[in-house]
Amino acid sequence: MKVVTTPAEIQMLAGQYRSKGLIIGLVPTMGWFHEGHLSLMREARKKADKVIVSLFVNPMQFGPAEDLDSYPYDLDRDCKLAEEIGVDLLYAPAKGVMYPQKFATTVHVEGLTSGLCGESRPGHFDGVTTVVAKLFNQTLPHFAVFGEKDFQQLAVIRQMVADLDFPIEIIGHPIVREDSGLAMSSRNTYLKDNEMAAAHSLSKGIELAKTLVKNNRGISVQQLIERVSEDVTSHRKCDIDYIEIVDKNTLDPCKQVSVDSVLVMAVKINGRIRLIDNSILIAC
C-alpha cells in the first residue's frame, strides 16, 4: 500500500489507473479506523480494481465549539489496518495542502442540509460537500462508499453528485454495530465506562420504536417520538439534540409511519460526546 499526501500525486496515480481501464473505488474517512470503516473498504475491494482510502480530519465541517482539536488520529495505526484490507492507496493530505492560502470556494446543497444535523451544526454540511467534491476531483473514482450511519450526509452527497454531474456511483453501506447494538463511531473512543449505558440508549431507542411499530402499525409519529425520547432521557447523562422520523428519500418529516420512514437521532452524552444513529422502522 502506498501513502500519498498531495493532490497532484493522487490525481496522477488515479489518472494512470483510469488510462489502463481500471475501476477506482474511493472510501472517504477522517481516520481512527474501526470495523465500520473497514467494512466500507471491504465493500470497495469487492467492486474495484484499485481502492483509494482518504484520511483527512476536515476542519471545515467542525464548528468552533466542537472536537476538532481532540478528534482521534493515528496515521501509523490506520495505515496498518488499511493495508490488511488490501487498500492500494491511502491518501492523507495535510490541512494546508487541502485548503491552501486564499482558498475561497465552498459547495452548498440547499434543502437537505437545513434540518437535523444541519440545524444544530451550522455550516457542517458545507464543509462536508466541499471536501468530498475536492476528493472526487483528486482521486477520480468510479464509485465511492459511504456509511449509512451518517444518513443525512449520504443524502446530501447523493444530491450534490446528481446536481453537479459527477460521473460517480454513490454506494451506501449498512451501519456496523458493536455486539451491544451501539453504532460504531470514532467518537466512541471518548466514552468512559460510566457513560456506556447512556450511549446504548440510542440503539435501544431504535429497537423500542421498531417494536412499537410492529405491535401497532397505527401508532402516530408523535407518539413514537415521545416514547423514544422518554426512553433516551431516562438516562440522566443524555441530552437530546433531535429525534425525528423522516422520509428516507427527502428527509422531510413523516406525517405517518410507512416503509419509507427512518428514525434519526442525535444525542449528547454528558454534554460532550455527540452520537448519531438511525434505522428504517418497517423492514421490507
Q: Could you report the per-residue pLDDT of 175-226, keeping only the tens digit for each?
A: 999 999 999 999 999 999 999 999 999 999 999 999 999 999 899 999 999 9
Q: Which of the four pLDDT bands, split at 50, 70 and 90, describes residue 110?
A: very high
Q: Which listed residue (37, 124, 142, 173) is catalytic?
A: 37
What pLDDT shows up at residue 164? 98
The whole model's pTM is what? 0.97
Q: Which of the four pLDDT bands, split at 50, 70 and 90, describes residue 284?
A: confident
The secondary structure of 224-252 as a DSSP string is: HHHHHHHHHHTSTTEEEEEEEEEETTT-P
| 37 is known as an active-site residue | yes
Q: What is the mean pLDDT of residues 143-171?
A: 98
Rounded Cα gap, residues 129 and 164, in angstroms: 11
Rounded Cα gap, residues 172 and 116, in angstroms: 19
For residue 39, pLDDT beyond 90: yes
pLDDT in tens, 228-266: 999 999 999 999 999 999 999 999 999 999 999 999 999
Look at residue 183 and give its three-state secondary structure: strand
Mean per-residue pLDDT over the chain, rounded: 97
Domains of the chain, earliest start first: 2-173 (3.40.50.620), 186-277 (3.30.1300.10)
Q: What is the mean pLDDT of residues 17-37?
A: 98
